[in-house]
Amino acid sequence: MVNAFVVVALLYWYNGFSFHTSAKTDIHINKNMEQTQKEQVVDFARSIQWLGQATVKFIYQGQTIYIDPYQLKDSDKADIILITHDHTDHLSMPDIKKIAGAGTKLIVAKACEEKLKTEGYSNVQPVLPGETVKFSNLIIKAVPAYNVIKPMHKKSSNYVGYVMDFGGISVYHTGDTERIPEMKQIRCDIILLPLGQTYTMNSVDEAVEAVLDTRATVAIPIHYGMYEGTKEDAMKFKEKLTKRGIEVLWGK
């Protein structure tokens, strides 16, 4: 009887041990996967070029993509140009001319369409908030961008930000915006957002909360140092988010 009891007890102990070991292994594997995914996101974020103001450049699978080109130093050949709204530091005709060729696709907020067509551009795809465009190997969704408190970017203007899927890594360029309620419904890996307190965000803390709303892994501050916002703001932004486990890169 004693021997039988010992055998049964050993079997229970062994099975329990095996179960807990398996659970710990699963946790270890999941953590490794999460770490690998984060590394991939950070690596991609490091390839993003912030060129000042809201101008961002991506090179992805042989394609060159610009958002809101402004005061570009060099000419280039863009495959896709995205424009968030019609203010001249975002819709800059001299800069578009520097990078747009015959085959360049322009995906733009509806408010920009007429100005571009007047300038002779025909390959123009206007978008409104909520619309999705598929071009080549990219999926691009237009999302709202507006001021809640300030009057510069009215919701009724239908200005946009863009959420782009780069092979499973989602990047959100917010456009000129304050922290808006819709951000809580947007999920991204990388967020590029303004740090100014004159035309866009009302404070560095508001920008931090916007990042947290989207659950981004990496944040890249833009739209500061020219007409609004300072390098000191960017340092505060980084300090606050680093404490929350979010990587902050300059993208430049």
- pLDDT tens-digit map of 41-75: 999 999 999 999 999 999 999 999 999 999 999 99
Residue 174 falls inside a structural domain: yes
- 126 occurs within a structural domain: yes
Count the Cβ atoms, other than its own, within 10 Å of residue 33: 10
Q: Name the DSSP letter for residue 145.
A: -
Between residues 20 and 223, the one the model is more confident about: 223
Q: How much is the pLDDT for 54?
A: 96
Chain mean pLDDT for the chain: 89
| Residue 7 confidence (pLDDT) | 47
CA 126 to chain centre: 20
**Domain span at residue 164?**
47-248
pLDDT tens for each residue of 204-225: 999 999 999 999 999 999 999 8
CA–CA gap between residue 38 and residue 46 (Å, rounded): 12
What pLDDT sits at residue 32? 65
DSSP state letters, 90-138 = TS-HHHHHHHEEEEEEEEEEGGGHHHHHHTT---EEEE-TT-EEEETTE
Q: Model confidence at 24, in pLDDT bands (50, 70, 90)? A: low
Evaluated on CA atoms 200, 203, 207, 210, the torsion sign reads: negative
Q: Is residue 115 part of a domain?
A: yes
- Is 117 inside any structural domain? yes
- pLDDT at residue 37 in the model: 84
- 193 lies in a domain? yes
Please report whether residue 38 resides in a domain: no
Q: What is the pLDDT of residues 83-96, one digit of tens each?
A: 999 999 999 999 99
Contact at 8 Å (CB) between 223 and 200?
Answer: yes
Tell me: pLDDT of 12 over 70. Answer: no
Q: Number of folded domains in the chain?
A: 1
**20 or 125, higher pLDDT:** 125
Q: Residue 14's pLDDT is what?
A: 45
Q: Is residue 233 part of a domain?
A: yes
Residue 1 lies in a domain: no
Q: Residue 128 pLDDT > 60, yes or no?
A: yes
The percentage of residues in the chain with a pLDDT greater than 70, rounded to a whole number, is 85
Q: Is the pLDDT at 166 greater than 60, yes or no?
A: yes
Answer whether residue 19 shows pLDDT above 50.
no
For residue 196, give the CATH number of its domain.
Answer: 3.60.15.10
Q: Is the pTM of this model over 0.75?
A: yes
pLDDT value at residue 3: 56
With a CB cutoff of 8 Å and minimum separation 6, the contacts of 125 are: 105, 106, 107, 108, 133, 135
Quickly state the pLDDT bin for 196 (edges 50, 70, 90): confident
